[in-house]
Chains A and B, each alone.
Chain A
């Protein structure tokens, strides 16, 4: 009751004459969803934390081992390597879509024929089924028959091994990730561009600023908050990226593209070491939260908060 009154003071005022009539609360609307959320989101989390404290392998009895699973992590070379792969994959998969997405947004902010339709085409990569896309990219990466090496040969570059070479596998996967997720950055920045007032542009035109100056000193500072949100979302998705990596390389060659998520899959569902897998899941989640916190801190430090939307 009190919640309702707080929520809509207007309603309280209007209902004031009829004091005896008490509006029923909104809780019944939320309860079914609450049950579902408890069952499929909260319960798994609690259970995961509990499991991470057990030695729990499918088919053998479980024993409580305290923090042993967590202590095993820093001494597990495959896990440490996976953290490195995840961080480099994430850094590239945040930066490149941010750059290309901003450029694309500046273009889509202009008026031209069939803009809506072309925007629909442009966002197709991120809506398409990732596994289907991964399959075609795998064919395109093929060293002998792939179309990418043919395209390289057209511009006089030597053929590459792409995802079949440990040193180029992560950049190649980032290429797919960038192709796939640049549209999301574009959409968020486009929303930011739409919110910019026209006055600064008019005065810049009077002052004779060129295109680059306008972009650098007016557009960029004004869309910074949106770039930040886009970067945050991109970071969260890139860290968790699974479908593309798993379908194209399964973490290979060797373990050259094994990220935390792919390693987690192997531990939990190939080796069925569920206790250790749960510990990885918990640490993985904390890593994502830590990265998000770091981005928030950086934003504070760089004083972009005074701009438009600070609701990240």
Chain B
């Protein structure tokens, strides 16, 4: 019995190791690439631990004068798109949940199914016509396509589970619907707000397809900037991998730190934008 238990444990840990290793090895290799000089990155057989660590790759990325611009662009686009989505999406989720207007979810379903590129054709023309291309506004607006459905979807699910009794009591005491929402429903829904916020930030930050069409030289977000680095082949692997890691590092950190919220949100809605 005891032996069987030990064998079972060993088997379990072996399977855990096998399952997690593709993810771990990939990101370790990404880190290794980003910390090696060209000579190590071009050697065969590949070197995992270099003799000399090329911190310089990271310094190069940060030193390139455009990087800060792109980083700021990403921050502004993701920040605005998520902020606006929370502003309109949270009340909407509340309203839909309380009205039990389940049919409205069809719109969100359509948004979920539609390929991101289909939004781009008409909105590209619209932005061109409005003379907005060349600013960050088009990207902020089109990122709403990703963030708003995520926020609404998660908040509907969340407000449907929060207790009604408190809200009823407040209404009878003469509070307006808005006051009930602001002072009763919203504080209870704080964990849901966190889930919606985190997922909206991640999927907006990661978005690539909107940027390649709408971003000009000055308005690129980080994923688009990294893609453009690949197409200009003169860069060596080290700085490229460093740039890639810098772009995705905030998301990876958030994933490990907030994995509970992310898992809750993804299993509830299984949302993904674009």
Contact = CB atoms under 8 A, between A and B. Distances in A.
Interface of A: 3-4, 6-8, 10-11, 14-15, 23-30, 32-37, 39-45, 47-48, 51, 103-104, 107-108, 110, 112, 116-125, 127-133, 135-136, 138-140, 144-145, 147, 150, 179, 183-184, 187-188, 190-191, 229, 233, 236-237, 240, 242-243, 246-247, 261, 264-265, 268-269, 274, 277-278, 281-282, 284-285, 288-289, 292
B238 to A, nearest CB: 10
Contacts of A233: 270
19 contacts: A7-B99, A10-B164, A24-B176, A27-B95, A29-B181, A40-B148, A41-B145, A48-B122, A120-B256, A136-B29, A136-B241, A179-B22, A187-B263, A229-B270, A242-B115, A242-B117, A261-B115, A269-B213, A281-B121
Interface stretch (B39-47, B53-61, B187-195): B39-47
Interface string B232-245: 00000100110011
A243 B125 CA distance: 22
Given A8-B164, A242-B117, A42 B107 contact: yes
B262 interface: yes
Given A26-B177, A117-B256, A277-B121, A11 B96 contact: no
B230 A103 contact: no
Nearest to A43: B122
B111 interface: yes
Q: Main SS of chain B's interface residues?
A: helix
A247 to B, nearest CB: 6
Interface in B74-96: 84, 87-89, 91-92, 94-96
For the complex of A and B, 8 pairs with smallest distance between CB atoms: A29-B95, A33-B92, A120-B259, A132-B244, A47-B122, A281-B118, A29-B91, A30-B95
Contacts of B247: 129, 131-132
Interface of B: 12-13, 15-16, 19-20, 22-24, 26-27, 29-30, 33, 41-42, 44-46, 84, 87-89, 91-92, 94-96, 98-101, 104, 107, 110-126, 141-142, 144-145, 148-149, 152, 164, 168, 171-172, 176-178, 181, 202, 205-206, 208-209, 212-213, 222-224, 226-227, 229-230, 237, 240-241, 244-245, 247-248, 251-252, 254-256, 259-260, 262-263, 266-267, 270, 272, 274
**Residue picked from B100, B114, B118, B212, most chain A C-beta under 10 Å:** B118
Contact of A136 (B13, B30, B142, B229): B30
A119 B259 contact: yes
Most-contacted residue by chain A among B23, B164, B171, B177 (CB, 10 A): B23
Nearest to B114: A285
B121 A150 contact: no
A32 B87 contact: yes
A311 to B, nearest CB: 11
B255 A123 contact: yes
Given A51-B121, A144-B44, A119 B263 contact: yes
B51 to A, nearest CB: 18
Task: Tell me which of A8, A103, A240 has the highest count of chain B C-beta atoms within 10 A of its own C-beta.
Answer: A240
B35 to A, nearest CB: 13
Contact of B237 (A4, A37, A139): A139
Contacts of A124: 23, 27, 252, 255-256
Given A124-B27, A285-B113, A289-B113, A37 B148 contact: yes
B117 A44 contact: no
A29 B120 CA distance: 28
Contacts of A40: 119, 123, 141-142, 144-145, 148
Contacts of A284: 115, 118
Given A132-B244, A247-B227, A34 B267 contact: no
B116 A242 contact: yes
Contacts of A268: 117, 120-121
A133 B164 contact: no
A121 B87 contact: no
Contacts of B13: 112
A104 B17 CA distance: 11
A288 B112 CA distance: 11
Nearest to A229: B270
A1 to B, nearest CB: 11
Contacts of A132: 223, 226, 244-245, 247-248
A117 B13 CA distance: 14
A246 B255 CA distance: 25
